[in-house]
Structure 1
Amino acid sequence: MSTEIVPANTASPEDIDAIFGTADAGRCRCQRFKVVGWMWRDSTLDERVDRLYEQTACGEPDAPATSGLVAYVDGEPAGWVAVEPRTAYPKLRGLRVPWTGRDEDKDDAGVWVVTCFVVRKGFRGRGLTYPLARAALDHARDSGARAVEAYPMVVPPGKHITWGETHVGVRQVFEDAGFTQVAHPTPRRVVMRVDFA
């Protein structure tokens, strides 16, 4: 299969919609760490769709920034990864996973974060999150990030985890991309990081 990964602002709104579809990821629209309050009560689907369009600047190839990358497989929109400065995610400030056991400046915009993967139905099971994670790392570095973090799931051998639980990624995907584990704040979650020289 031929895979191309591009900044989301070069994708169309229709391509974004095709990737997110109507599954849980489609309802969230990558707003879990952005909507202040309880997402399902304090925002509507239409608001989340509009916010994602605005954040990605989809359909605006000359936009100065975007909130993620889109993968095309054989020309079809197939996957998404969210990557932008950690400060773009206000709800991360109140979670224990990014911060437990670490002395981090929560307002450091030089640290970027990969928060979400979405792979379109029909394209799952092909390992698409691996090139998406590598592309997210390159995109962050090229955009001026000082470091990139991720907060993936740990999948013990022989354990089954549903696809929806792994929207944050799994540890081996980030290991493959060159991230190093810097903390293990919960049994099921780790903090992975790359610091650029």
Structure 2
Amino acid sequence: MAIEVLPATDYQDVATMVGPKKDPNGNVCWCLSYRVTPKENQALTRTARGRKVSALLRAGEPIGALGYDDGEVVGWAGLAPRASTSFATNRRIPHVDDLDAWSVWCIRVRPGHRGEGIAHEMLAGAVRIAREAGAPAIEGYPVDNAGEKVEMTMAYVGTRALFEAAGFEKAADTTSRLDGFPRVVMRLDLR
């Protein structure tokens, strides 16, 4: 299956992938947890989160990538220059160097489309988008789960194996853990 991966620009498609599913006033992530400062992330609740995403899109800010299968949105990758994310100041996830790397921090596949390789295509698309934007490198911060099962709600960061399959290499250990697994910095040079 081949999907088309494009920079996220359509608010409704972003909402389909990361917005509330049942209650439009639901308090969900909107993939902002790493995209804004921790203080702002805590202050944004319910519909304010969707309004923040809308404002970022209107400003032309990179917030992610959307994957489409025959026009239907089926995948998401949180993607932006590291400098515009909380990874710029995160104490648990170290900087490898001073390059203006981009970060990919969340990969989601729409229910009903899982197990089709879409996560791999979303990561490949994120790499292409970062490269086309002139990024010298792209990083991810997945769990190093050594093949063990990762709980579904925590799998959004990806696994080391997913990133290795896309050509990324481990660049550093972190002091961050998710679902009991250590997270690692995975890096792909785009120069």
TM range (shorter): 0.7 to 0.9
Alignment pair present for 1:116 and 2:112: no
Alignment pair present for 1:129 and 2:119: yes
The answer as to whether partners of 1:98 and 1:151 remain within 8 angstroms in 2 is: no
Which of 69, 73, 83 is equivalent to 1:73? 69
Structure 1 residues 69 and 178: CA distance shift in structure 2, 3 A: same
| Structure 1 unaligned residues grouped into runs of 5+ | 58-62
Which of 63, 80, 91 is equivalent to 1:95? 91
Which of 16, 26, 36 is equivalent to 2:38? 36
Q: Which amino acid aligns with 1:22?
A: P
CA–CA distance in structure 1, aligned partners of residues 143 and 50 of structure 2: 26
Give the TM-score of the pair, scaled to structure 1: 0.80
Alignment pair present for 1:170 and 2:159: yes
Range 30-39 or range 41-50, more displaced? 30-39
Structure 1 residues 56 and 118: CA distance shift in structure 2, 3 A: farther
Q: Which amino acid aligns with 2:16?
A: A
CA–CA distance in structure 2, aligned partners of residues 64 and 27 of structure 1: 22
Range 13-22 or range 170-179, more displaced? 13-22
Partner of 1:190: 184
**1:91, distance to aligned residue in structure 2 (A):** 5.4
CA RMSD of aligned residues (A): 2.3
Aligned residues: 180
Which of 130, 135, 139 is equivalent to 1:149? 139
Partner of 2:7: 7
**1:4, distance to aligned residue in structure 2 (A):** 1.3
Structure 1 residues 121 and 36: CA distance shift in structure 2, 3 A: same
Instruction: State the percentage of identical aligned residues.
Output: 32
Q: Which amino acid aligns with 2:185?
A: V
3-state SS of paired residue (1:56): helix
